Amino acid sequence: MVWHVLTGEFPPDIGGVGDYTAHLAAALEAAGDSVNVWAPGHTLPDRFGRASRAMLQSAFVSTPGTVLLQYVPNAFGARGMNVAFCWWLRSIAKRGIDVRVMFHEPFFYFALDRPWRNGLAVVQRGMAAILMRSAATAYVSTETWRRFLGPLGPAPIDVLPIPSNVDASRSSERDWRSIVAPGGEPVVGHFGTYGEHVASELLRLVPEVASRAPRARLAFVGRGSREFLERLRTSHPPLACRSWASGVLAREEIATVLRACDVLIQPYPDGITTRRTSAMAGLSTGVPVVTTSGALTEPIWSESRAAVLVPVGDAAGFATAVATLLDDSNARIAQGIHGARVYGRRFSLDRTIAVLRGAAAATL
């Protein structure tokens, strides 16, 4: 197969969609396909404006293939309102080209406290409707988007969870556990970028977890972890001597650091979803994950039991779940193995490639 993958970002630019696209392109090529990635600042002269559309149209004619759009509305220029690009893509689809859209995010929400964004929310719903009438297939990163996008157009919708962007098979051999817990203490870790919403949840939960697991060391992994640790030290000074932060790590080191943890705590204020690559990283490396169920959490999490779920806001229950795993090594090992198996069957990049290439059922 020949693929034309359109994305608003691509490495070395920093961004989750760019990382996802790079992994996807490499996996498609490894499966024997030909992949052309089109991104501003790399292969395109502008941010999907007139010059880019002309270049793409010429490429689609000279090298026919499937167009796969990695869609985040704000990544395609025109201040998040690139309606012209959406109409152009519809015209391409009408000419018989196989156009598919992967909706990482569909549109802005309406917000009473930010009325200036409501106009943008309206326009982006119109853009999503155009794309849903253009796509032969629409893919969504979470089942939640199905109920938002389904009424907008006739395209069939398949769920493609966002897999881990940590390559566990190429992890380094460095002994991180001797650094994190030199006395052989149990290790409770968190992996992420420590954005304000998740950081606020952590600041609320970590002291409770530390209290219920008094021997545990706390490991904060990923970009922004050192800044978060400073916030924790300021708000809870006694935890400073029990905490460690990695800072930015090379990609091949992340899996090894995660494996140095006995349990990962991955709270999200709106609940775990199949879009959360930080949780996927823990599952893929076989580390048991304790996370939160909330408004956006899909049924697959309770059905599969890939992670231990605690309702958002239940700090005591969250800490109890962590302590229970730390106290029971058999349960902890079993949970990690089960999570990795569910990840491989239902969330992994291999499954994504199989669905895209038509070799697997497209339902979770």
How does pLDDT run across 11-63, given as a tens digit for each residue? 998 888 999 999 999 999 999 999 999 999 999 999 999 999 999 999 999 99
Amino acid, single-letter form, for residue 212: R
Q: Give me the helix-helix angle, 315-327 and 329-342, nearest 10°.
A: 110
Q: What is the pTM of this model?
A: 0.90
**Span 328-357, mean pLDDT?**
96
Q: What is the pLDDT confidence band of residue 360, given thresholds at 50, 70 and 90?
A: very low
Q: What is the pLDDT confidence band of residue 109, given thresholds at 50, 70 and 90?
A: confident
Q: What is the pLDDT of residues 170-227, one digit of tens each?
A: 556 578 999 999 999 999 999 999 999 999 999 999 999 999 999 999 999 999 999 9
- CATH top-level class for 168-347? alpha beta
Q: How far apart are CA 191 and CA 175, in angstroms?
A: 18
Q: What are φ and ψ of residue 75, in 5° steps?
A: -90, 0
Q: What is the pLDDT of residues 288-322, one digit of tens each?
A: 999 999 999 999 999 999 999 999 999 999 999 99
Q: What is the pLDDT of residue 168?
A: 67
183 contacts: CB under 8 Å, gap ≥ 6 = none
Strand order in the sheet with 308-311: 243-245, 217-221, 187-191, 263-266, 289-293, 308-311
Superfamily holding 2-163+348-356: Glycogen Phosphorylase B; (3.40.50.2000)
Question: Which of the 8 DSSP states describes residue 93?
Answer: H
Neighbour-count burial for 88-107, b at 16+ CB within 10 Å, e otherwise = bbeebbeeebbbbbbbbbbb
Looking at the chain, how many residues does it have? Answer: 364
CATH 3.40.50.2000 maps onto the chain at 2-163+348-356, 168-347
Q: How far apart are CA 281 and CA 275, in angstroms?
A: 12
Q: Where are the beta strands (DSSP E) in the chain?
A: 2-7, 34-38, 66-71, 99-103, 137-140, 157-159, 187-191, 217-221, 243-245, 263-266, 289-293, 308-311
- Of 90, 88, 189, 165, nearest to 131 by C-alpha is 90
As a 3-state breakdown, the chain gives helix, strand, coil percent values, each rounded to 5, of 50, 15, 35
**What is the percentage of the chain residues whose pLDDT exceeds 70?**
95
